[in-house]
Amino acid sequence: MSTDPESAVSTTPAPEEASAPSAEAEQGPTFDSLGLSDSVLGAVKALGYETPSAIQAATIPSLLEGRDVVGLAQTGTGKTAAFALPVLSNLDIHQNAPQALVLAPTRELALQVCEAFERYAANLDGVRILPVYGGQGYGPQLTALRRGVHVVVGTPGRIMDHLEKGTLDLSQLRFLVLDEADEMLNMGFAEDVETILAETPEDKQVALFSATMPAQIRRLSKKYLRDAKEISVKAKTQTATNITQRYLMVSYPQKVDALTRILEVENFEGMIVFTRTKSETESLAEKLRARGFLATAINGDIAQNQREKTVNQLKDGSLDILVATDVAARGLDVERISHVVNYDLPTDVEAYVHRIGRTGRAGRTGDAISFVTPRERWLLRAIEKHTKAQPVQMQLPSVDEVNATRLSRFDDGITAALQEAERIEFFRDVVRHYVEEHDVPEVDVAAALAAVLHGEEPLLLDPEPAKPAYDDRRGRRDDRGGERGSDRGPRRETGTSRHTGQPLATYKIQVGKRHRVEPRQIVGAIANEGGLRRADFGNISIRNDFSLVELPADLAPETWKALESTRISGKLIELTEDSGGGPVRRSGGRFDKGGRPGSSSDSGERPRKPRQKRKFD
């Protein structure tokens, strides 16, 4: 999960049990009743939230009391705010050494949590929050740590690196949060997590959040948490059955053009396009207006009177597209909205449910389209899992489809104009006069008038360039200059994945033993950057100057592009197809230490000296 900061706090009321009815029991608790500091409470209210989610209502008071907490809740239940708000309420701004450490399994989640902290700390002058994760240069992190930070949010591997370098001081730590603990351990971070816990003061307060409670998590909580309160909450993530859900696989640079084609081909009335940030709403709305669409932005900076004016324009049809953030769209109920587009896929499942619920109102049907980048496939799987719905993959509308739609609308415009008899009569006389004076066919005059009215922009898109033939045997474009080029050599399929059954091929990367690389770093870097799953990896063989990795034989162009800039141990991996290395063999019939697939989500982390394997007590 990497929850959008603006949607990290759910508005789903938490059910309450009480022996006697009360206003709070009937309506659920509010943030005012949880005991948050005035500054933090003010920031929450400024974001437009009033009612905490169930996990927030149950967790925040306990954390404010100083108790350790084990929170069992699915992704998308508002966990980020459940621990961020009480931590911020108890921070000592005058202490520069880190007071809170949040461990997260992936860089995406670490960044999301950091952004959420910053948003909730809007009224706390001087609070410094630092994301620490693999794949990012050490320079900015070291500079920030020397200057002093209050909250560190990071992945276990990079936190371990800083501890070994002596650049991260946890001696004054007061709060420790383990977010998505089960996922962290599943990815092979168990030893790192224990080592980090051992480096922290014994009197710290610990909050552990996990979607499940396997035996390993249970043992961890008993060993490192004191008299912890266990809180279990299930997310309400069911989506409406009258909303058609689709998704489009698209790279980030293609999003604007993809959205433009969809807007041209889809038959929509009103539409909300959701982005992750306020600045993105403004820039995207401007780009859409430049392409001739009636679009405007709405975000948290928009004044209430302007918001009301914009919503009324959407209702009366003088505006077709609203580009919005989650906060700005809360409470928006316009029957005319037929489509919702997740331009930036939300990383909070409840935010997804809330977004697509803006369409299909009053018993009508609705359409929801989500843009999914290669790195966000895991988010799509999380949404499918928790909503029990499976969005259908759609294809980008082709040039022919866009052109057919444009010609159809051009015809419709002519047909509509012909219905206005009085206006047409005047222009008919004008055209007749021109034909008689210049002896030009009427059809040529009509074409000239259409060209004048349409302007310089071509009516139709240029044809798409022909794609080279696809060779199913090798799973690649087979002519020179094709989709992935022909300089990588022929791909040699080496078998099938025992997890997925898909064909595997051997790939070569330019990092090996002399770079002190481990299999788990290879898996973490390639999976994180290329949007792959742990199940997509086959065998890994680390040689002196390079390594051989079995990956799917049909790597998507987006994956190749994403991996061009991937580094391990600070060195570009330079992924190529291996043309002569033969099948990958495991040394000794197994991976090296720490090398089972999927053991790390960090990339670019400095390899560490082997440590003695420790088990949970």
State the 10-residue block means of pLDDT for the chain, 617 residues long.
36 31 52 92 85 89 94 76 95 92 85 89 92 82 91 92 92 93 81 90 92 83 90 70 90 89 88 90 92 88 80 90 83 84 85 85 85 86 85 85 72 76 79 83 80 68 51 37 37 57 85 86 82 81 90 84 82 84 43 38 42 39
Q: How far apart are CA 109 and CA 153, in angstroms?
A: 9
In degrees and rounded to multiples of 5, residue 539 shows phi and psi of -80, 155
Q: How far apart are CA 300 and CA 281, in angstroms?
A: 11
Select from 497, 512, 490 the least CA-distant residue to 576. 490
Please state which CATH number belongs to domain 475-589.
3.30.70.330
Record: fold of 243-398 = Rossmann fold (3.40.50)
Select from 608, 540, 601 the least CA-distant residue to 135. 601
Kindly state the DSSP code that residue 438 receives in the 8-state scheme.
H
Residue 508, SS3? strand
Return all residues near 597 (Cβ < 8 A) that are at least 6 apart: 519, 523, 534, 535, 537, 540, 591
| Alpha helices in 76-214, H assignment, sequence order | 79-89, 107-120, 138-147, 156-165, 181-186, 190-198
Q: Where are the beta strands (DSSP E) in 192-285?
A: 205-210, 229-233, 243-249, 270-274
Question: 552-561 burial by CB neighbour count: b if 16+ within 10 A, else e?
Answer: bbebbebbbe
| Domain 5-233, CATH among 3.30.420.40, 2.40.128.110, 3.40.50.300, 3.40.50.920 | 3.40.50.300
- pTM across the whole model: 0.46
| C-beta separation of 330 from 8 below 8 A | no
What string of H, E and C letters represents the secondary structure of 24-42?
HHHHCCCHHHCCCCHHHHH
- Residue 366: strand pairing partners: 243
Residue spans in the chain of domains classed CATH 3.40.50.300: 5-233, 243-398
Residue 278 is predicted with a pLDDT of 84
Q: How far apart are CA 50 and CA 57, in angstroms?
A: 12
Residue 477 is predicted with a pLDDT of 40
- Residue 76: strand pairing partners: none
Residue 28 is predicted with a pLDDT of 67
CB atoms within 10 A of CB 426: 8
Residue 597 is predicted with a pLDDT of 38
Residue 594 is predicted with a pLDDT of 37
Select from 391, 394, 381 the least CA-distant residue to 349. 381
**What does each C-alpha distance from 85 to 35, 189, 311, 611 come to in angstroms?**
10, 26, 31, 36
- Residue 551: strand pairing partners: 505
Residue found by looking up tokens 């009103």 in the block: 270
Residue spans in the chain of domains classed CATH 3.30.70.330: 475-589
